[in-house]
Structure 1
Amino acid sequence: MHWLADFLAAIGVVLNGIPQGIMAMGLGFAVFPTTFSFGLAAIVNGFTGSVAPISFQAESLALTGHLGRNLRERSSIICFGAVIMLAIGLTGSLSKIVAILGDQIMGGMMAGVGIMLAKLALQMTKESRRCGWLSIALAVVTYLVTKDLVWTIALSVIGTSLYAVFVEHYQQALPDHVTARKFQFIKPQFNLTVLRGALSLACLNIGANISYGLITGQMTGLKPNPVNLNLLTSTQALADFGTSLLGGAPVETIISATASAPEPVIAGIIMMVIMAIILFMGWLPKIGRFVPSSSIAGFLFILGAVVIFPENAATAMHGSASMIAGITLVVTAIADPFSGLMTGAILKFILPLIGLGV
């Protein structure tokens, strides 16, 4: 029955990505060209055996939409941000960052990410109280019974979506101009807004690739962590670079429940192939009308508060650098992973220079 668990995990993550895909369309990104990104990543993971898939990521979409004033600026931000990340991936800088900072600071950052995800889940309940709390309730009950993230995301997302459609008669209207099945070249432009956006997006992705990538690797239960951060970064950068020139949406590293499947590599590939088919066939607008964004609140809450935070907080607080790791945790939780990581790095190397060892 391994194939069923793999398939359910893939479907759960697909349903998780659909609300973010709808968010991308709302920002003016075309979904048809984004087929390229999922197809490329599926091929790379198939050849390399990587367990970390990529998908739509709400954080990068929100940042790009906030900093870019129109589609051309947003596509340019993604394009130049991808160039920066490709350089980081090809030079192997990401894995060196992990080695230099050490397990405690990395654990503090990942524990902070756990708090961020749980907080995001609770914020979703404010936007849609019934669907949000139903999703959390379904996720908590499912996880307590099964201790399995695959069933947790599948049942909470599907159950909440069914409730939204049949009880609340949920439907979301979508713009037509982003759903066309065609390619449209977007010529990159360069200005201060694009430069600021590209650097900000690169900083966000550095933190996300380290934290989300390592968390996805942790979820496999394999040691050492099976995620190659440099390969993941290079793949994500190439995918974003290609799709940005065609007006497509960015796809980034995610925390994926496919890592909990019996065959995490196969489950991740299945997920990305399904997403590619959905985008290529133009089904996302039709499916997305019936999946509220709050349907993923339960999965995010369990993932953050129960799976990620306890183990990584224990790692962060056990050792000589517990104070720095604790500060890293707090800054990550209230700001973002990159800010937390940089704070930990600065404290680790500056305090000994001024005679304040930890």
Structure 2
Amino acid sequence: MHWLADLLAAIGVVLNGLPQGIMAMTLGFAVFPTSFSFILASAVNGAFGSVAPISFQAESLALTGNLGRTFRERTSIIFGGSIIMLVIGLTGSLSKIVSLLGNDIMSGMMAGVGIMLAKIAIDMTKSEKRTGWLSIAVAVITYILTKDLVWTIVLSVVVSSLYAAFVERYRADLPEHVTARRFFLTKPILNRNVVRGALSLACLNIGANISYGLITGQMTGIKPNPVNLNLLTSTQALADMGTSLLGGAPVESIISATASAPEPVIAGIMMMLIMAVILLVGWLPKIGRYVPSASIAGFLFILGAVVIFPEDAAAALGGAHIMVPAITLVVTAVFDPFAGLMTGAVLKFVLPLVGLGV
């Protein structure tokens, strides 16, 4: 009966990813071309036996939506970030970057991202106040009672969406390129916003691939850790590069419950293929018409303020030298991950040269 346990784990991760897929649609990303990212990743995982799947990731979506002012800027940010990550993956530089900067600076950057997500969640309530605050309230109560992120996502999104649909009569008219089951070639553009966004997205993915990838590997109980971080990084980069040119959404590394299934590779592949089918047949846009963007606010708030920030802040500030990771955290939260990571790197190597301890 291993297959049933694998299927249930896959369905659980799909349920986790659907609200974030809806979030991707509210940012203008097309879902049909995104399906091929899942197909590509499932083929790679099957060929190489990787246990780490990819899916919609709230952090990358929130960052892209926050830094990209228009749809073309957002797809260009993803394309630029994927080029950077492909180079890192193919050259095997991921672990070297982390070793050079140190886990405390990387954790400081990720903790700053947690604050960014919480702020974005609060900002979402400004346009749809009742739906947004209801989502946050349900998410907080659910997480306090269950400590389960999947239940937090499902209940906060479902309850706030039902309120919006039946009380506020919410119906969304999604753009044609979001719902159409065909390709729209999207030519990348280059400007200051895109460069900043691409660098920030790459910095976020460096931290996420290391932390989420290794956590997923640890969940298998197999030693040594079965996750090939360079393969995960290259796969994610190729998937994002292709889908961004067609207006699709980014798909990144996640902490996946499929890793705890009896056959973690098979469960991960099943999850990605189920998600691909949902996108190919057009079910997600039909659901998305009744789900306002503010319904995801509760999940983002819990993810940022309760899940990401405390653990990464403790890791960043738990050592003997806390000034540099603390500044990295604050600069990331105020500006973006690239500014935070670069500030931390400069301080780490410059302060000792002028006789200041870090």
TM-score, structure 2 normalization: 0.83
User: How far has the Cα of 1:347 moved from its partner?
Assistant: 0.4
User: Which residue of structure 2 lines up, in the alignment, with residue 253 of structure 1?
Assistant: 252
Contact conserved, 2:81 with 2:202, CA < 8 A, in 1? Answer: no
Shift in alpha-carbon separation, 1:36–1:315, aligned structure 2, 3 A: same
User: Which residue of structure 2 lines up, in the alignment, with residue 200 of structure 1?
Assistant: 196
Deviations 1:141-195 (A, max 9, x none): 2112211112111221122222222222211112335533234556x57xxx526
Deviations 1:7-27 (A, max 9, x none): 2332132122212123224xx
Structure 1 stretches lacking a partner, 5+ long: none
- Code of the residue aligned with 1:289 in structure 2: it is R
Contact conserved, 1:214 with 1:225, CA < 8 A, in 2? Answer: no
User: How far has the Cα of 1:322 moved from its partner?
Assistant: 0.5
Tell me which of 28, 48, 57 is aligned to 1:24.
28
Shift in alpha-carbon separation, 1:50–1:337, aligned structure 2, 3 A: farther
User: Which residue of structure 2 lines up, in the alignment, with residue 216 of structure 1?
Assistant: 212
Contact conserved, 1:211 with 1:337, CA < 8 A, in 2? Answer: no
Alignment of 1:170-209 (within 5 A): 170-183=170-183, 193-194=189-190, 196=192, 199-209=195-205
RMSD: 3.1
Contact conserved, 2:45 with 2:265, CA < 8 A, in 1? Answer: yes
Contact conserved, 1:42 with 1:269, CA < 8 A, in 2? Answer: yes
Shift in alpha-carbon separation, 1:195–1:117, aligned structure 2, 3 A: closer
Shift in alpha-carbon separation, 1:13–1:331, aligned structure 2, 3 A: same
User: How far has the Cα of 1:332 moved from its partner?
Assistant: 1.0
Contact conserved, 1:209 with 1:232, CA < 8 A, in 2? Answer: no
Shift in alpha-carbon separation, 1:219–1:127, aligned structure 2, 3 A: farther
The whole-number CA distance in structure 2 between the counterparts of 1:267 and 1:149 is 19
In percent, how many aligned pairs have the same letter? Answer: 58
SS at match of 1:127: coil
Contact conserved, 1:52 with 1:268, CA < 8 A, in 2? Answer: yes
Shift in alpha-carbon separation, 1:64–1:250, aligned structure 2, 3 A: farther
SS at match of 2:133: helix
User: How far has the Cα of 1:107 moved from its partner?
Assistant: 1.7
User: How far has the Cα of 1:313 moved from its partner?
Assistant: 1.4
User: How far has the Cα of 1:232 moved from its partner?
Assistant: 2.9
User: How far has the Cα of 1:259 moved from its partner?
Assistant: 4.5
The whole-number CA distance in structure 1 between the counterparts of 2:24 and 2:301 is 17
Shift in alpha-carbon separation, 1:63–1:333, aligned structure 2, 3 A: closer
User: Which residue of structure 2 lines up, in the alignment, with residue 337 of structure 1?
Assistant: 337
- Code of the residue aligned with 1:281 in structure 2: it is V
Shift in alpha-carbon separation, 1:316–1:344, aligned structure 2, 3 A: same
The whole-number CA distance in structure 2 between the counterparts of 1:38 and 1:258 is 14
Deviations 1:73-95 (A, max 9, x none): x7666545533331122112222
The whole-number CA distance in structure 1 between the counterparts of 2:202 and 2:77 is 15
Tell me which of 11, 14, 17 is aligned to 2:15.
11
User: Which residue of structure 2 lines up, in the alignment, with residue 54 of structure 1?
Assistant: 55
SS at match of 1:126: coil
User: How far has the Cα of 1:41 moved from its partner?
Assistant: 2.0
User: How far has the Cα of 1:105 moved from its partner?
Assistant: 1.1
User: How far has the Cα of 1:351 moved from its partner?
Assistant: 0.9
- Code of the residue aligned with 2:282 in structure 1: it is G
Alignment of 1:78-93 (within 5 A): 78-79=78-79, 81-93=81-93
Contact conserved, 2:114 with 2:308, CA < 8 A, in 1? Answer: yes
User: How far has the Cα of 1:64 moved from its partner?
Assistant: 4.7
SS at match of 2:179: coil
Shift in alpha-carbon separation, 1:332–1:63, aligned structure 2, 3 A: closer
Deviations 1:209-267 (A, max 9, x none): 1233345347659388876443333112211232344x23241426x464498447666
Deviations 1:264-292 (A, max 9, x none): 76665455333322321233332211111
- Code of the residue aligned with 2:277 in structure 1: it is I
Shift in alpha-carbon separation, 1:108–1:259, aligned structure 2, 3 A: farther
Worse-matched range after superposition: 60-69 or 306-315 = 60-69
Contact conserved, 2:258 with 2:268, CA < 8 A, in 1? Answer: no
How many pairs are equivalent? Answer: 344
Worse-matched range after superposition: 324-333 or 87-96 = 87-96
SS at match of 1:168: coil
- Code of the residue aligned with 1:32 in structure 2: it is F
Contact conserved, 2:20 with 2:56, CA < 8 A, in 1? Answer: no
User: Which residue of structure 1 lines up, in the alignment, with residue 290 of structure 2?
Assistant: 290
- Code of the residue aligned with 1:211 in structure 2: it is G
User: Which residue of structure 1 lines up, in the alignment, with residue 124 of structure 2?
Assistant: 124
Deviations 1:323-352 (A, max 9, x none): 101101101111111211111111001111
The whole-number CA distance in structure 2 between the counterparts of 1:299 and 1:178 is 23
Contact conserved, 1:217 with 1:226, CA < 8 A, in 2? Answer: no
